[in-house]
Structure 1
Amino acid sequence: MLKDEKAVVVFSGGQDSTTCLFWALNTFQNVEAVTFDYNQRHKKEIECAKSIAEELKVKHHILDMNLLNQLSPSALTRMDIDVKAGKSGELPSSFVPGRNLIFLSMAAILAQQIGAKHLVTGVCETDFSGYPDCRDVFVKSLNVTINLAMGQEFVIHTPLMWLDKAATWKMADDLNVLKLIKERTLTCYEGIIGDGCGKCPACQLRRQGYEKYMQMKANVSTAI
């Protein structure tokens, strides 16, 4: 644990950000979470994040980012846009242009106000659906830009950057929160907490990762 160090976790209440929240609580002395309300497809996402933060007694900031909804139409900001996977190299309809750029920038401003120098986000380049703002090169570049813009020495942490979903489930298990992550987080594009609808791309990726990890775990137990 980094004593006397404070971190801000970008927290949506989903599998990845909740795993990162527990990672941060295990890593830093003081942790606060920030959730962005951009009039996303399902308000349940915010309710889910609020519930988990309250249970963990983590100070939780909910910031109004409705401008993002106006500027970046996608399946996550418009109910009349269907959730579809990208085809022929195209980005999926769930991509929200500029989302992580804005979220991390706002998280840095919040961090400066509360005396934190660590930012934690659940972006991942292994299972990232082609989103350009989930890439390691983007995060590193933004980290430099934020530090230059604000005259600070923030560090952006990406604990899941090189993990597939199976490895993310393993991290949750190692942190002793596998059950909570499975039952209480919201990944589903249809707004169903836990195992979700089972049909949307997010649910399929989540389920496949869980099944792969449980099989790996069973194989290890059998070998022992």
Structure 2
Amino acid sequence: MKNAVVLLSGGLDSATCLAMAREAGYQCHALAFDYGQRHHTELHAAERVASSLGAASYRVIRLDLGTIGGSALTDSSLAVPEEESDGIPITYVPARNTVFLSLALGLAEVLDAGAIYIGINAVDYSGYPDCRPPFIDAFRALAAVATKAGVEGRAPLIETPLLDLSKGEIIRAGTSLGVDYSLTVSCYQADEQGRACGRCDSCRLRRAGFAAASVADPTRYVSGE
């Protein structure tokens, strides 16, 4: 059984991605990041999801992207928007996926992993530049030259199985693979109990996804709805 590194945030998309990697026959090593995010409770969700879906290992790498700032997810002085807006929103975290994938690439080399799975999505997403196909294409090229495995022709595949799926399609796929979405946390400002605000961009996309999939929404909201 070949190894795969799966980036696991504790949210809906990454949980589905882990289930897909497992279904593809990989022994999955879940990798989460404590990067100074305000919604720290997502790490508890990531651990629950890793256990539920039988990950071979679960690691948390700690780094502080809040030192850079520039995002409402790492800077408490910036408000998380609760209305739709044009352009790239303030919830974009500069260089986040670049950093995460780079560290995943290092772990993949240590584990001799054949793939790295990341649950980015270019359909129902918030406009982040590091969730688009050109970013992934560029990182695949980087992976081929940045490591010993890469220059020896063994660079891990960068797998993005959710890239072209709608949120509803993602939920239907995950449900068919046994994902328990009640374990996940997607909200950008979830409280310490993991309850969602129901108003931020991530909550709106998640709620609409369950409706589109005709699947009951198991999300716990602060308002109790």
TM-score (norm 1): 0.86
Displacement, 1:121?
Answer: 0.3
User: Which of 1 and 2 has higher RCO (CA within 8 Å, sep 6+)?
Assistant: 2
Q: 2:5 aligns with which of 5, 8, 15?
A: 8
Count of aligned positions: 207
Give yes or no for contact 1:195–1:203 (8 Å, CA) kept in 2: no
Aligned to 2:209: 209
- Kindly provide the amino acid, as one letter, of the partner of residue 197 in structure 2: C
Aligned to 2:120: 123
Which deviations, in whole Å up to 9, do the C-alpha atoms of 1:82-122 show, x marking residues without a partner?
11256343x11100010001100100001111111200000
- Kindly provide the amino acid, as one letter, of the partner of residue 205 in structure 1: L
Displacement, 1:194?
Answer: 7.3
Pairing 1:81–2:83 present: no
Give yes or no for contact 1:76–1:94 (8 Å, CA) kept in 2: yes
Displacement, 1:195?
Answer: 7.3
Runs of 4+ more than 4 Å apart = 192-195
Q: Distance in 1 between matches of 2:128 and 2:142?
A: 20
- Kindly provide the amino acid, as one letter, of the partner of residue 79 in structure 1: S
Give yes or no for contact 1:195–1:207 (8 Å, CA) kept in 2: no
Pairing 1:60–2:62 present: no
Q: Distance in 2 between matches of 1:45 and 1:195?
A: 10
Aligned to 2:185: 186
Displacement, 1:39?
Answer: 1.3
- Percent of aligned pairs sharing the same letter: 35
Q: Gapped runs of 5+ residues in structure 2?
A: 216-225
Query: 1:25-64 maps to which residues of 2 (within 5 A)?
Result: 25-58=22-55, 59-64=57-62
Q: Distance in 2 between matches of 1:164 and 1:15?
A: 12
Give yes or no for contact 2:84–2:201 (8 Å, CA) kept in 1: no
- Kindly provide the amino acid, as one letter, of the partner of residue 50 in structure 1: E
Q: 1:102 aligns with which of 81, 99, 105?
A: 99
Report the CA distance shift for 1:194/1:43 in structure 2 as closer, same or farther (over 3 A): closer
- Kindly provide the amino acid, as one letter, of the partner of residue 212 in structure 1: A
Report the CA distance shift for 1:194/1:37 in structure 2 as closer, same or farther (over 3 A): closer
Q: Distance in 1 between matches of 2:19 and 2:11?
A: 12
Q: Distance in 2 between matches of 1:195 and 1:64?
A: 23
- Match of 1:156, SS? strand
Aligned to 2:89: 92
Q: Distance in 1 between matches of 2:14 and 2:54?
A: 16
Displacement, 1:12?
Answer: 0.5
Displacement, 1:56?
Answer: 3.7
Give the stretch that moved more between structures: 185-194 or 39-48. 185-194
Aligned to 1:17: 14
